[in-house]
A = this chain, B = another copy of it.
Amino acid sequence: MPGRVKRPTIKDVAREAGVSMMTVSRVLTKKGRASQDTIDKVLRTIEELGYVPDLNAGALSSRNSGFIAVLVPSVDNSNFAQSVRGITDVLNDNGLQILLGSTDFSVEREETVLETILKRRPDGVILTGGNHTARSRRMLENAGIAVVETWDLPADPIDHVVGFSNVAVSHAMVDHLHERGYRRIGFIGSSSDSDTRGADRERGYSEALKKHGLEHHRVIRLGAPPVPVEQGGEAIVEMLRRWPETDAAMFVSDRTAFGALMECHRCSWPVPDRVAIAGFGNFDMARNCHPRITTTAIDCYEMGRFAAERIVDARARAAAGERVKPEITMIPYRILGRQTT
């Protein structure tokens, strides 16, 4: 590690270039105009000195940190990772930087992470899900910045929403299974007070069964997310043991659906003839395995982009002194009927 040296500041650049600090600042931020001559001179000096602007100092002065906080349950999940990609792409185009936090699928953890991240004075916050602690909500309200809740359709939104109904998603999947002739449908989900998205999908399953006049509910709840793939295998075995008549199993996630499908291979249970399998999320493994798993696809990348655009927009309006009204953006989903149903 090289010795910690004194790094050049905007003052050094100004002195060397023979202009004032403000002129350098203007050249850098492109705000206000400067003559081409001055611009060239300043840029050359910056290059010579190897000057690197300090955005934190700039933020302190301008009262815009340029950070957008993004909280996801887990980075190690292709769906959320894609949303993060979408967010990043939009933010980069707008000179903003992402401040990523991981909540481990827990609202308590979310509160802790949020508390830490708010100390960086983000200009906006993008959350996953619509379920938060009371203190989290209070902190967000006090922060006075744009908030976007994603991946859900909260009954009482904090501010903006870019999401979809997890209840409706399950509804649609039951409809799909029903249409393909399945009548003895089971659901394999997760169990956690925090995982309201999983709970919503289970609720959608139950409601849809009733709608179709199917009264016998077969539900197995695995642990808190992220549920290991292995448990999908154990779950399908358990389900067919408890309810041998089951002709279709829908899973809260492609990951466990995949685990179940592979276990069926090992047990030589033909899929979908012995039992149909459906997942959620359109993960790589579900799309490419054999047979390919029927699933629900959400455009996670686009959802991320929309969420980021909402923040960018709100930020611009707030800067212009406009009052910003909360908006709700619905993200479409589609059932991909494939070979396992």
A1 touches B76 (CB 8 A): no
- Please tell me if the beta carbons of A289 and B289 are within 8 angstroms of each other in the complex: yes
Checking B92, B99, B229, B326 against A287 with a beta-carbon cut-off of 8 angstroms, the contacting residue is: B229
Of A126-134, A144-152, A174-182, the one with at least 4 CB within 8 A of chain B? A144-152
Instruction: Point out the residue from B1, B92, B97, B290 that lies within 8 Å of A314, measured CB to CB.
Output: B1
Q: Are B97 and A120 in contact (CB under 8 A)?
A: yes
CA distance A266 to B1 in the complex (A): 53
- The total of chain A residues at the interface (CB under 8 A) is 68
Inter-chain CA distance A5–B318, complex, in Å, is 12
Q: Are B102 and A85 in contact (CB under 8 A)?
A: yes
> Of A17-25, A31-39, A254-262, which stretch is located at the interface?
A254-262
A65 CB-CB contact with B under 8 Å: yes
Please state if B326 and A1 are interface contacts (CB–CB under 8 Å). Answer: yes
Q: Name which residue of chain B comes closest to A120, CB basis.
A: B55
In the complex, chain B residues whose CB is within 8 Å of the CB of A74? 81
- Copies of this chain held together in the complex: 2
Q: Among the interface residues A99, A141, A262, A289, which one has the most CB atoms of the partner chain B within 10 A? A: A289
A94 CB-CB contact with B under 8 Å: no
Q: Which of A218-260 contact B (CB under 8 A)?
A: 229-230, 233, 255, 258-259
Whether A4 is near chain B, meaning CB under 8 Å from some CB there, is yes
Q: Which residues of B contact A159 (CB under 8 A)?
A: 1
Residue in B closest to A75 when the chains form the complex, CB atoms? B81
A288 at the interface (CB under 8 A from B): yes
Q: 3 tightest CB-CB pairs across the interface, nearest first?
A: A76-B81, A265-B290, A55-B119
